[in-house]
C-alpha cells in the first residue's frame, strides 16, 4: 500500500488531523478549584446551543472531570442527546423547580459517558413559565436546588462536581432567568453566518439586567464559534468580527459544519461517542480543553 505523500495538500491535512487526534484523545484536564456553573445561552435558535452543551460536557467528562447537565429547555434535546429518558412520567427538572423535589432525585447517569450525569427536561416544562410566576423567590429556585444538591453530595461523601452546564430555551423567560441567576458564567455559541451578531446585543443587555438586579457575579466568560465553513469568506469574516468585539471571550477552537455532529443526537449520543475521531469531536475536545485551562 502506498504511503500518503506529506507534501500534497490532502497528505498535509491528514497528517495534521492525525497529530491533532493523538494530542487530544485520552488527555486529562485540570480540575477547577470550585464547581463552575455555566449557562449556555443564545436567544437566536439554531446556533448549536444544545449541541455545544452536551458535547463540551461529554468532552470534559471523558477527560476525567465530574459534570452535570441541567436541561431546562422544554424540548428536551439535551436529554435526548445524552440518552436520558424524559417522557412525561419521568421526574425531571420541572419537579425540582415547581414542587421542590431535590435535584439528586432526578439526575440520571449518561449511559455512554462516565462521570456525566443529567437532570432531564420533560414537556411539563412548557407550562413552567406560567407556574413559576406565582411562586416565592421564583428567580432563585434553580440556584437553591443546585446549592442544596452540592450540600447533599458532600454530606453523603460524593465527590464535588467540577462543572454544571445549564441548557436554556431560546427565549428570555423565567426558565432562562433561573439559569442566569444559578450560574457564574455564560457560554454563548455563535454561528458563523450572516446575522450572527444580530440578537447578541439584546442578549448582552439582558445579561446586564440580571447582573444589576439578580446576580452581580455573572460574567460572559466564553464565546464559541459554531457551524464554521472554512470554504467561505463569510465564515472567516464573521469569525474575525466576533473576535474583534470579544477578544478575551472567544475560544481559539472553531466548531465546523459537520454531518457527524448533526447525526449523533438521532442515535441518542453526543459526537464524542458517536464518532470520537471526527473533526467535530476533536473541535469540541479543543474547546473543552481551553475552557478547563482558563478556569
* Domain-embedded: residue 1: no
* Domain-embedded: residue 22: no
pLDDT value of position 10: 63
* Domain-embedded: residue 12: no
C-alpha grid cell for residue 188?
454563548
* Domain-embedded: residue 16: no
pLDDT value of position 7: 65
* Domain-embedded: residue 9: no
CATH of the domain at 210: 3.40.50.300
* Domain-embedded: residue 14: no
- The angle at the Cα of 88, spanning 125 to 70, to the nearest 5 degrees, equals 50
Compute the distance between CA of residue 273 and CA of residue 134 in angstroms, rounded to an integer: 42
Q: How many domains does the chain have?
A: 1
Compute the distance between CA of residue 235 and CA of residue 225 in angstroms, rounded to an integer: 10
pLDDT value of position 5: 54
Bridge partners of 166, per DSSP, are: 39, 70
Bridge partners of 70, per DSSP, are: 119, 166
* Domain-embedded: residue 11: no
Residue-number span of the structural domain to which 73 is assigned: 30-294
* Domain-embedded: residue 15: no
What are the pLDDT tens digits along the chain (295 aa)?
A: 444 456 676 677 666 766 766 666 667 889 999 999 999 998 777 778 899 999 999 999 999 999 999 999 999 999 999 999 999 899 999 999 999 999 999 999 999 999 999 999 999 999 999 999 999 899 999 999 999 999 999 999 999 999 999 999 888 889 999 999 999 999 999 988 877 777 788 889 999 999 999 999 999 999 999 998 888 898 999 899 999 989 999 999 999 998 999 999 999 999 999 998 888 999 999 999 999 998 7
DSSP H or E stretch at residue 165: strand 163-167
Residues sharing a CB contact under 8 Å with residue 253, sequence separation 6 or more, in sequence order: 224, 283, 284, 286, 287, 289, 290
Contacts for 98-107: CB closer than 8 Å, 24+ residues apart: 98/128, 98/131, 98/132, 98/135, 100/145, 102/145, 102/148, 102/149, 102/152, 103/145, 103/146, 103/148, 103/149, 104/149, 104/152, 104/153, 107/68, 107/149
Amino acid at each position: 500500500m502506498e504511503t500518503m505523500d506529506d507534501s500534497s495538500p490532502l497528505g498535509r491535512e491528514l497528517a495534521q488531523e492525525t497529530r491533532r487526534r493523538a494530542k487530544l484523545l485520552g488527555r486529562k484536564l485540570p480540575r477547577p478549584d470550585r464547581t463552575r456553573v455555566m449557562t449556555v445561552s443564545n436567544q437566536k435558535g439554531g446556533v448549536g446551543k444544545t449541541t455545544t452543551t452536551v458535547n463540551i460536557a461529554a468532552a470534559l467528562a471523558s477527560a476525567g472531570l465530574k459534570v452535570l447537565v441541567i436541561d431546562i429547555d422544554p424540548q428536551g434535546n439535551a436529554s435526548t442527546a445524552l440518552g436520558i429518558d424524559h417522557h412525561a412520567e419521568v421526574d425531571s427538572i420541572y419537579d425540582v423547580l415547581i414542587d421542590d423535589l431535590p435535584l439528586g432525585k432526578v439526575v440520571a447517569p449518561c449511559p455512554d459517558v462516565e462521570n456525566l450525569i443529567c437532570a432531564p427536561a420533560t414537556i411539563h416544562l412548557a407550562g413552567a413559565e406560567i407556574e413559576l410566576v406565582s411562586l416565592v423567590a421564583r428567580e432563585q429556585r434553580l440556584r437553591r436546588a443546585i446549592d442544596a444538591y452540592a450540600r447533599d453530595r458532600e454530606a453523603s461523601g460524593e465527590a464535588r462536581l467540577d462543572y454544571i452546564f445549564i441548557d436554556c430555551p431560546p427565549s428570555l423567560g423565567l426558565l432562562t432567568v433561573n439559569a442566569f441567576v444559578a450560574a457564574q458564567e455564560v457560554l454563548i455559541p455563535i454561528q458563523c453566518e450572516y446575522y450572527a451578531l444580530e440578537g447578541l446585543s439584546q442578549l448582552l443587555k439582558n445579561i446586564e439586567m440580571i447582573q444589576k438586579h439578580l446576580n452581580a457575579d455573572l460574567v460572559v466568560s466564553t464565546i464559541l464559534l459554531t457551524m464554521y465553513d472554512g470554504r467561505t469568506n463569510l465564515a472567516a469574516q464573521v469569525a474575525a468580527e466576533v473576535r474583534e468585539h470579544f477578544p478575551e471571550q472567544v475560544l481559539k477552537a472553531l466548531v465546523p459544519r459537520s454531518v457527524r455532529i448533526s447525526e449523533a443526537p438521532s442515535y441518542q449520543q453526543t459526537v464524542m461517542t458517536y464518532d470520537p475521531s471526527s473533526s467535530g469531536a476533536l473541535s469540541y475536545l479543543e474547546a473543552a480543553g481551553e475552557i478547563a485551562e482558563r478556569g
